[in-house]
């Protein structure tokens, strides 16, 4: 098994530290490692002594501290604790070729359940995600209870997807639970739609129970008998 090349991974991680922080209208900071304007100096609890990332010199010191932190990391999965969730997919995209199959598969599974709206991720398209999942080893991709649940399903599986009124059924995320699909259909606005489809178990890329959603990640090109459920069927 090819080992993870942590040197190359850390090079990517450090390059992300040098991205410029962005500020939203609500004062939220967008950056792979930083989520606020003022960063406490090491060993100080006085906010007046904090680094102000709007000042170039202070930002330079913050980046140096981030790089020192990266140098201390020994395990690839530790990066998921330090990186902001919106940047996990970009980090994985640019480090995946340096990973062992174990690190690759475990991180992909963890990433998928941590990051919302992966079906519309700006860094990895749905078709790219399908390729990533197909390369993964399900032994490491899923936890034991998830593998057992998947194994318990029949060779043909009925799955559901709840979406907003104008959304499509063409997506990776489905569920084996109709109640979960109904909840997603009305999550953000009323009158959402629920789709029903069938898929062969061999075309299920992963199944996750960690969020209680019975999420079934599928190659949507392999779906069949796709239909929008009527309101009567949803009562």
Residue pLDDT, tens place only, 164-215? 887 888 899 999 999 999 999 888 777 889 999 999 999 999 999 999 999 9
Q: Where are the beta strands (DSSP E) in 32-155?
A: 38-39, 51-52
For residue 218, count other CB atoms closer than 10 A to its CB: 24
Say which DSSP state 227 is in: E
Per-residue pLDDT tens over the stretch 88-118: 999 999 999 999 999 999 999 999 999 887 8
pTM: 0.91
Arithmetic mean of pLDDT, 221-232: 91
Q: Which residues contact 205 (CB under 8 A, 6 or more apart)?
A: 130, 133, 134, 136, 172, 217, 218, 219
pLDDT for the residue 218? 97
Side-chain-side CA neighbours of residue 31 (13 Å): 24
What pLDDT score does 46 carry? Answer: 67
């Amino acid at each position: 098994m090819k080992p993870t090349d942590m040197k190359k991974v850390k090079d990517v991680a450090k390059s992300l530290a040098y991205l410029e922080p962005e500020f939203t209208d609500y004062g939220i900071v967008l950056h792979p490692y930083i989520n606020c304007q003022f960063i406490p100096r090491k060993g100080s609890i006085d906010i007046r002594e904090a680094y102000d990332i709007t000042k170039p010199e202070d930002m330079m010191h913050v980046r140096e501290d981030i790089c020192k932190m990266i140098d201390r990391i020994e395990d690839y999965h530790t990066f998921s604790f330090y990186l902001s969730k919106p940047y996990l997919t970009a980090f994985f995209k640019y480090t995946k070729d340096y990973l062992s199959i174990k690190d690759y598969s475990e991180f992909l599974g963890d990433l998928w359940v941590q990051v919302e709206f992966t079906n519309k991720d700006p860094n990895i398209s749905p078709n790219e995600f399908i390729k990533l999942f197909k390369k993964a080893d399900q032994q490491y991709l899923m936890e034991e209870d998830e593998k057992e649940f998947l194994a318990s399903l029949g060779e043909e599986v009925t799955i559901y997807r709840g979406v907003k009124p104008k959304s499509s059924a063409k997506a990776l995320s489905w569920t084996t639970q109709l109640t979960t699909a109904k909840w997603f259909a009305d999550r953000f606005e009323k009158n959402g739609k629920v789709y029903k489809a069938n898929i062969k178990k061999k075309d299920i890329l992963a199944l996750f129970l960690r969020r209680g959603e019975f999420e079934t990640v599928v190659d949507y090109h392999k779906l069949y008998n796709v239909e929008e459920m009527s309101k009567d069927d949803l009562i």
